[in-house]
Each structure stands twice: as C-alpha cells, then as structure tokens.
C-alpha cells in the first residue's frame, strides 16, 4: 500500500503470520528498504516456523517501508541520514560521491513512530513491547543513529553492514557523547569481505562496550555487502525472539 508522509508516498508492505496471534499479540519487525528485504524476511521466518522448536524463531508481523524504485537514489539517502551542520561526501569505490539531499532521518523516525506504529496497533494484534527495527547499509546507519538518539522507540535494533563511514564517521562522535546505559538490545552484522566497513563496525562495538550497550556482533566470513543479508537473516530472527 501507499502511505503518505511529509510530501512523500512510501511503499508499505505488511506480512502477517497465518496463525492465531498469541494473547499478547504478534511481535513486529519494521524492515527498512522494505521493497527489497521485507518479503525475504517473511519467507525466511515462515520456512523456519515449520520447525520452530529447533529453529528458535517465532511468528511476527513483518512491515516493510520502502521507496519507489525511481526514487531510491535520492529519497533513500535523504531519509537514512541524520541532520548535521555540514555533510562530507567522501571518495567511495574510487570516486567522489555525488552530492545528494541529506538529513531527513528525524522525519523518517517520526513517520514510523507517529504514523506506522499507531496504524499497526489499530489494524493488527501486536505486542507493543516487541516492535523492532531492521536496516541494511544506509538503513543500518539509520538504525544505529535511531538507537543512539531514540533508544526507547523500539524493542530491539538490527543494523546489517551499517554505513558508519558516512559524514566523516559522525556516529563515532554520537556514541562518544552518549552518557546513559541503553536498555534496548542491538545487533550488528557485517560481511567479512566488506573491507573498511568491518573495521568501522568493530570500532563501533568497541565504543559500545564502553557505553554499557547490550549488543551482539557477528562477522559473516566470506560474505560481501549483498550476500550478508540472507546469510544473517536467520541469526537476526533468533536474536529478535530472545529475551536477552
């Protein structure tokens, strides 16, 4: 379905388990870049629910939030980057990045928290205490920023191959300024073949250790920026089910 917010029409896909919800309601997993990843997340979950005692996966409502294909290069970059006094577009893959609109992360998290979550509560049987956020690449950057800036908005946060390099590694400055313990659990995964993104993720979790952050970190050996997504998905589903 189409969902309008702040003069943009997002594509929202909702996948509900084919079973009676538990008394407390279904957990919810909000998947950024939903047009790419939400169906994969749902199918991975559905396959493992056939033997849930062994796979340790629980049924959940999967909610994908995505962009129209033609809008992805600009709108996605805008939505997943946080406001800043300046934006540094670095050299990536041997060339200087094209300057794109940036700084829309506050509007996106407002949209999720103020419009998407209330809609889910109204139309579905959901567990209010178990609404989690998942993102990959720039979406993973948004997840980490959300975790540090809005730590009480979600039950758990999952960042796969997060683009920590953005804006001169501004997330390192953000986490350095964090002062209080964080109650929500955080999962960070990265492919072993992702070069400096592995180093960035390792440095982030080192800093997280100093900030009393409850996190799980996984390096998927031999995986790259694309293959890490399906490789980590089962681990992510188990992480989201656990009560730790």
The tens place of each residue's pLDDT in the chain, 244 residues long, gives 788 777 889 999 999 999 999 999 999 999 999 999 999 999 999 999 999 999 999 999 999 999 999 999 899 999 999 999 888 888 777 676 777 889 999 999 999 999 999 999 999 999 999 999 999 999 999 999 999 999 999 999 999 999 999 999 999 999 999 877 688 999 999 999 999 999 999 999 999 988 878 999 999 999 999 999 999 999 999 999 977 5
Backbone angles phi, psi at 38, to 5 degrees: -70, -40
Fold (CATH) for 2-241: Rossmann fold (3.40.50)
CB-CB contact of 186 with 216 (8 Å): yes
Residue 182: which residues within 8 A CB-CB, separation 6 or more? 147, 148, 151, 211, 212, 213, 214
Q: Given this model, what pLDDT does residue 244 score? A: 57
Residue with tokens 């406001």: 83
The model's pTM is 0.95
- The overall longest dimension of the chain from CA atoms, in Å, is 53
Q: What is the DSSP letter of 21?
A: P
């Amino acid at each position: 379905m189409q969902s309008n917010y702040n003069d943009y029409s997002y594509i929202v896909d909702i996948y509900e388990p084919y079973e009676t919800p538990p008394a407390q309601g279904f957990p919810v997993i909000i998947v950024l870049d939903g047009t790419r990843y939400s169906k994969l997340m749902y199918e991975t979950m559905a396959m493992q629910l056939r033997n849930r005692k062994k796979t340790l996966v629980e049924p959940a409502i999967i909610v994908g939030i995505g962009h129209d294909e033609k809008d992805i290069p600009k709108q996605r970059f805008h939505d997943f980057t946080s406001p800043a006094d300046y934006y540094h577009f670095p050299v990536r893959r041997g060339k200087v990045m094209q300057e794109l609109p940036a700084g829309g992360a506050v509007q996106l998290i407002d949209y999720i928290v103020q419009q998407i979550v209330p809609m889910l509560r109204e139309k579905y049987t959901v567990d209010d205490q178990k609404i989690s956020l998942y993102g990959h690449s720039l979406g993973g950057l948004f997840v980490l920023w959300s975790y540090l800036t809005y730590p009480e908005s979600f039950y758990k946060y999952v960042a796969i191959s997060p683009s920590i390099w953005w804006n001169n590694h501004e997330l390192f400055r953000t986490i350095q300024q964090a002062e209080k313990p964080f109650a929500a659990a955080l999962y960070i995964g990265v492919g072993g073949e992702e070069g400096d993104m592995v180093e960035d993720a390792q440095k982030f979790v080192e800093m997280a250790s100093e900030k009393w952050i409850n996190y799980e970190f996984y390096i998927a050996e031999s995986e790259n920026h694309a293959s890490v997504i399906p490789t980590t998905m089962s681990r992510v589903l188990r992480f989201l089910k656990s009560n730790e």
